């Protein structure tokens, strides 16, 4: 596994983000990294899930910001989270720790956790980081929430296809949701073709809309399917 060394950049809400050295894009919005992550993934995903024990898949791991905010929400709400992140371009730990989000030691713990091994970060948060390409990654778990935080469709078009969304749909629990910052027409059409019910929601600062895509329940028995 070869780590990359992104540059650190400030964003408008005062939180830092990273710029990918190959794609040239930032990991989160320059209008506010924390603001975007909280709006799309925490408010749009985790807080809308009523389950006390939540299985989350993140398409990406990147700076670790989404995982860290999820960990904090789990600790504050008293829920248990099993978090799987699939990342093709792991960030080197020195760069990640230089972000120093709130100087929280748990942020460093997320990055120091070994790749490929489930790791208990706290009693309420278990993390498994997988250094793989999501297109080829084999999935054997069912997820209540999918944080789809790949780079933009124009940058990584192979990750925004009907075929990949069908793969993720098969791993989404009935009633579970995929949330993403992109509300591009081609993205919504691909999600619908994969089987999701797609809703456009107000976007994070700097964006008009985001998307929440839900796998419908066929019957009451689906509520117990995990």
- Look up residue 122 and give its two tokens: 């706290």
Q: Is the pLDDT of residue 134 over 60?
A: yes
pLDDT tens for 137-191 read 998 899 999 999 999 999 999 999 999 999 999 999 999 999 999 999 999 999 9
At 56 the three-state DSSP class reads: strand
pLDDT recorded at residue 219? 55
7-224 folds as Rossmann fold (3.40.50)
92-97: long-range pairs with CB below 8 Å, 24+:
92/3, 92/4, 92/5, 93/3, 95/5, 95/6, 95/8, 95/18, 96/63, 96/64
Q: Give the pLDDT mean for 115-142.
A: 96
Q: Give the pLDDT mean for 79-83.
A: 98
Q: How confident is the model at residue 226 (pLDDT cuts 50, 70, 90)?
A: very low
Mean pLDDT, the chain, rounded, equals 94
Lowest mean pLDDT among 35-44, 85-94, 198-207, 210-219: 210-219
Top pLDDT among 224 and 156 is at 156
pLDDT recorded at residue 224? 47
pLDDT tens for 7-33 read 999 999 999 999 999 999 999 999 999
Could you tell me how many residues make up the chain?
226
Q: Is the pLDDT of residue 225 over 90?
A: no
SS3 content of the chain, % helix, strand, coil (to 5): 30, 30, 40
Q: Measure the CA–CA gap between 71 and 67, rounded to whole angstroms.
A: 6
pLDDT tens for 45-80 read 999 999 999 999 999 999 999 999 999 999 999 999
Q: Measure the CA–CA gap between 115 and 130, rounded to whole angstroms.
A: 6
Half-sphere exposure of 21 (CA within 13 A, CB side): 11
Helices 65-77, 105-112: crossing angle, 10 deg rounding: 120
Closest Cα to residue 157, out of 23, 5, 2? 23
């Amino acid at each position: 596994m070869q780590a990359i060394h992104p540059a650190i950049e400030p964003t408008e809400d005062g939180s830092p983000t990273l710029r990918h050295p190959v794609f040239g894009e930032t990991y989160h919005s320059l209008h506010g990294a924390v603001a975007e992550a909280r709006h799309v993934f925490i408010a749009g995903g985790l807080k809308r899930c009523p389950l006390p024990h939540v299985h989350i898949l993140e398409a990406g791991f990147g700076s670790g910001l989404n995982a860290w905010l999820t960990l904090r929400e789990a600790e504050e709400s008293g829920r248990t989270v099993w978090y799987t992140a699939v990342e093709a371009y792991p960030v080197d730990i020195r760069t990640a720790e230089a972000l120093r989000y709130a100087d929280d030691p748990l942020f460093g713990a997320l990055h120091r956790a070994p790749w490929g091994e489930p790791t208990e970060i706290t009693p309420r948060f278990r993390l498994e980081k997988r250094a793989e390409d999501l297109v080829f990654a084999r999935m054997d778990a069912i997820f209540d929430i999918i944080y789809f935080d790949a780079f933009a469709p124009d940058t990584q078009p192979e990750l925004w296809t009907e075929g990949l969304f069908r793969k993720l749909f098969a791993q989404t629990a009935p009633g579970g949701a995929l949330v993403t910052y992109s509300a591009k027409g081609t993205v919504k059409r691909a999600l619908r073709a994969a089987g999701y019910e797609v809703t456009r929601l107000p976007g994070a600062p700097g964006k008009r809309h985001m998307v929440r895509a839900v796998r419908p329940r066929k019957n009451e028995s689906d509520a117990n399917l995990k």
